[in-house]
Amino acid sequence: MIDPTDPRSPSRQIADDLRNDIHSGALEPGARLPSERELVERYGTSAQTARQAVSLLKTEGLVVGMPGRGVFVRERPPVLRVGSDRYARWRRDQGKAPLQAEVEELGLKWRQEVTELAEVPAPEWVAKWYDLAPETPVFVRRRRFWIDDHPSQLADSYYRLDLVTGTRIMEERTGPGGGYRVLEELGYPLTRVREEIALRMPTPDEVRALRLEPGTPVAELHRVSFSNDKPIELLQGILAGDRYVFCYEMPVTD
Amino acid sequence: MIDPTDPRSPSRQIADDLRNDIHSGALEPGARLPSERELVERYGTSAQTARQAVSLLKTEGLVVGMPGRGVFVRERPPVLRVGSDRYARWRRDQGKAPLQAEVEELGLKWRQEVTELAEVPAPEWVAKWYDLAPETPVFVRRRRFWIDDHPSQLADSYYRLDLVTGTRIMEERTGPGGGYRVLEELGYPLTRVREEIALRMPTPDEVRALRLEPGTPVAELHRVSFSNDKPIELLQGILAGDRYVFCYEMPVTD
DNA sequence: CAGTGGTCTAGACCACTAC
DNA sequence: TAGTGGTCTAGACCACTGA
């Protein structure tokens, strides 16, 4: 089954065959790929070569290996469309955090796990936006968001100490409406949001925390929340790339 | 150098060591990693094990192998911040396409390569937005964008035939200001834009067309351009994940 | 020319799964 | 218990690079 005159290496030939089967639908999502031993027999290569072919598909994010069971065509998890009206005030008035509202509208379960509440020296980008000297202490809320019992986002919110000391932002539970509601009550209503999204592969820590399959990229989100042009919250998020679609809508300015 | 009591597998231990060296700065961007043979000697493992460690770092996008030379810590290419004021009309009045203006402001070279001009059956999402029967013929402009002599984006623009037949949109060169300028002159000024961004690993075709290093994710961008709530252009873009940062700024609505 | 990464063969053992 | 993926050893050849 391997064509020695083909310029592609044997492992590439096998990988391309399997990829075709997946894209053509011959192998549907959830289906099991031929086992390593079957591939060896079918193509007449060594086991390592068959393994490398499958490994290629894994790094492409097309298949997932389950030790003892087999290699399976990945089923795309439910995707969350993160929209640009996420921050609308009427959502908070219903007592929900921005993401929570969006998730529950889709009929999915939602959970927030607070992993750390602490004073830390300000990271460089935080100091820059808050116009603080480097290393100035700031308050950080680190959370992990779960959607349908899957971890899907790591989110670290940084606040100025002079703004949030003594408020519910320093507590485990910020109360209905989330952190924005607290800031609003302090006299800092949210007026503008700036988001930057970069793409990269996850670190091993992130793979663990988000239970990412190999071949899943992440989005690194930096968000600046303004109240009348004054930054009031800075967020760094790591989002599982296969669970989010970012969606922005904007008028065209002159 | 391998700790047999460590629960991590040998290849993981080697990979973690190298990753630490990279993050600590002991191995700077552009530096060469120890060669496969050196790693074998240092850790006392087989060559395959050392290879697997390095291969892990490749899929993480941290290093790049150059056959015959070595494995090098990846240098991040210049990153382009794609902003939400990209579509502002004043830019087009200077005779530049949206992306072109942004790139040249950074002092980078810019080039557009038209790879195909054709009538094709409408893909599903195109038919949906244009409210056409599936497979209705539409006109597609496929281009590849180069920044500083690196391919960085594949962009397919779909147009309704009844709008663009006989216009410069069907020509190789659309003239100053790009496709939006042509539509504007036809009586369809751009008023609103909607963008959806999904993350995934590239297909082999995309790896080739964008000359992507292993371990580089891509962003799949779907853009709908409206003129007074009527879609006038649909774009699917594949953007090299290591060359773009997406940046959106939005007011908070009630 | 020696050294490099990339690919391959031919074995082996382990932990896990499903029966 | 048989089959699975995951990892490992110990070799080998090739094309390419740089001196």
C-alpha B20/C-alpha B34 separation (Å) is 14
> Which DSSP string corresponds to A142-176?
EEEEEETTEEEEEEEEEE-HHHHTTSGGGSS---T
In this prediction, residue B181 has a pLDDT band, given cuts at 50, 70 and 90, of confident
Q: Please count the CA atoms within 13 angstroms of the CA of B239 that sit on its side-chain side.
A: 28
What is the rounded average pLDDT for all residues in chain A? 89
User: Phi first, then psi: what are they for B144, rounded to 5°?
Assistant: -125, 130
Q: Does B83 touch chain A (CB under 8 A)?
A: no
Strand partners, A244: A80
Q: Which nucleotide is closest to the Cα of B58 by its C1'?
A: C5
Please report the pLDDT score of residue B225 as a whole number: 93
What proportions of chain B, in percent to the nearest 5, are helix, strand and coil?
30, 35, 35
Give the pLDDT band of residue B141 (cuts 50, 70, 90).
very high
pLDDT at position A16:
93
CB-side exposure of A200: number of CA atoms within 13 Å? Answer: 20
- A79: nearest CA in chain B? B198
Sequence-distant (≥ 6) Cβ neighbours of residue A99 within 8 angstroms:
A82, A86, A110, A145, A153
Q: Check if B244 contacts A (Cβ < 8 Å).
A: yes
Angle (deg, nearest 10), helices B98-105 and B178-185: 140
Going edge to edge, which strands form the sheet with B230-240?
A80-82, A244-251, B192-200, B218-227, B230-240, B150-159, B137-147, B110-121
State whether the beta carbon of A70 lies below 7 angstroms from any atom of strand D: yes
Closest to A239 measured CA to CA, from A176, A172, A169, A156: A156
Q: How confident is the model at residue B91 (pLDDT cuts 50, 70, 90)?
A: low
Contact flag, residue B1 CB and nucleic strand D, below 7 A: no
Residues B198-203 have a mean pLDDT of 94
Nearest-CA distance from A121 to chain B in Å? 19
Q: Is the pLDDT of residue B151 over 70?
A: yes
Residues of CATH 3.40.1410.10 domain(s) within chain A?
Answer: 80-246
Strand, coil or helix: what is A135?
coil
Which range has the worst mean pLDDT, A45-54, A81-90, A108-117, A239-248? Answer: A81-90
Chain pair A-B, CB pairs under 8 angstroms: 137
Tell which residue, A143, A226, A212, A130, has the closest CA to residue A178. Answer: A143
B198, closest residue in chain A (CA to CA): A245
Contact A152, A158 (CB under 8 A): no
User: Is residue B111 predicted with pLDDT exceeding 80?
Assistant: yes
Distance between start and end Cα atoms, chain A: 61
Report residue A54's pLDDT band, with 50, 70 and 90 as the boundaries.
very high
pLDDT at B85 over 70: no
Give me the pLDDT at residue A202, please.
94
Kindly indicate the confidence band of residue B250, based on its pLDDT and cuts at 50, 70 and 90: confident
**Average pLDDT along chain B:** 89
pLDDT tens-digit map of B19-61: 999 999 999 999 999 999 999 999 999 999 999 999 999 999 9
Among B91, B190, B201, most A C-beta atoms within 10 A, so best to mutate, is B201
- The CATH T-level fold of domain B10-73 is Arc Repressor Mutant, subunit A (1.10.10)
> Given this model, what pLDDT does residue A82 score?
80
CA B254/CA B252 separation, integer angstroms: 7
**Residue of B85, B199, B250 with shortest CB distance to A219:** B199
In the prediction, which pLDDT does A88 show? 67
Q: What is the pLDDT of residue A86?
A: 67
The yes-or-no verdict on residue A203 having pLDDT over 70 is yes
Among A114-128, A206-220, B94-108, B162-176, the least confident range: B94-108
- Least Cα distance to A8 among A46, A57, A40, A53 occurs for A53
Per-residue confidence (pLDDT) for residue A254, from 0 to 100:
64
Listed ranges A78-87, A183-192, B231-240; the one with the highest mean pLDDT: B231-240
- B155 has a pLDDT exceeding 70: yes
Work out the percent of chain B whose per-residue pLDDT is above 70: 94
CB A212 within 8 A of CB A184: no
Q: Tell me what pLDDT residue A91 has.
A: 66
Over residues A219-231, the mean pLDDT reads 94
Cβ pair B82, B247 in contact under 8 A: yes
**β-strands A80-82, A244-251: how paired?**
parallel
On whether any CB of chain A is under 8 Å from the CB of B88, the answer is: yes
pLDDT beyond 80 at A212: yes
Rounded mean pLDDT of B74-103? Answer: 73
CA distance B123 to B140: 11
Task: Give the residue range(s) of CATH 1.10.10.10 domains in chain B.
Answer: 10-73
- What topology does CATH give the domain A80-246? Chorismate lyase (3.40.1410)
Is the minimum CB–CB distance between B228 and chain A shorter than 8 Å?
no
Residues 59-88 of B with CB within 7 A of strand C: 65-71
Per the listing, tokens 């936006």 go with: A129
What pLDDT is attached to residue A102?
Answer: 75
Give residues 188 to 217 of B whose Cβ lies within 8 Å of A. Answer: 190-204, 214-215, 217
| Mean pLDDT to the nearest integer, B156-177 | 91
Q: Cα(B188)–Cα(B179) distance, rounded to whole angstroms?
A: 11
A209, pLDDT greater than 80:
yes
Which residue approaches D9 most closely, CA to C1'?
Answer: B46
Q: Given this model, what pLDDT does residue A181 score?
A: 86
